Amino acid sequence: MEDLTQEEWVEKLSNDDNAVILDVRTDAEVAEGIIPNAIHIDIYKGQEFIDEIEDLDKSKNYYVYCRSGNRSGKACQIMEQLGFENAYNLEGGMLQWTGDIVDLKT
């Protein structure tokens, strides 16, 4: 697991052909907007979260974010324990995100 600043996260992601963006926020938070092409798995779902994470392709590189960077950091640690080699936490999360957002309310 690696904590990346917003700039590092965006730069690494833009140069990664094997990238998956993972949003671990709640449904209510996601309804306010999501980073384009992100998949959503709510970390608060406990075992269901772990089951869904285990179904993911471990050969991919995961760029993980939440609201502030705390839950996504925990998600990266869980992923590491499950055998994922490349999980990158977005420091500051959506609170500091200045990139594109898809509004799901429309």
pLDDT in tens, 7-54: 999 999 999 999 999 999 999 999 999 999 999 999 999 999 999 999
DSSP alpha helices (H): ranges in 1-106? 6-14, 27-31, 47-54, 70-81, 93-96
Exactly one of 1, 24, 66, 78 is catalytic; name it.
66
- pLDDT of 104 > 90? The answer is no
| 66 catalytic residue (yes or no) | yes
CATH class of residue range 2-96: alpha beta
**pLDDT computed for residue 71 by the predictor:** 97
Q: Which of 93, 95, 89, 90 is nearest to 76 (CA)?
A: 89
What's the rounded Cα separation, in Å, for the pair 106 and 7? 29
Contact in structure between 92 and 4 (CB atoms under 8 Å) = no
DSSP label of 26: -
Predicted structure pTM score: 0.95
What's the rounded Cα separation, in Å, for the pair 4 and 106? 31
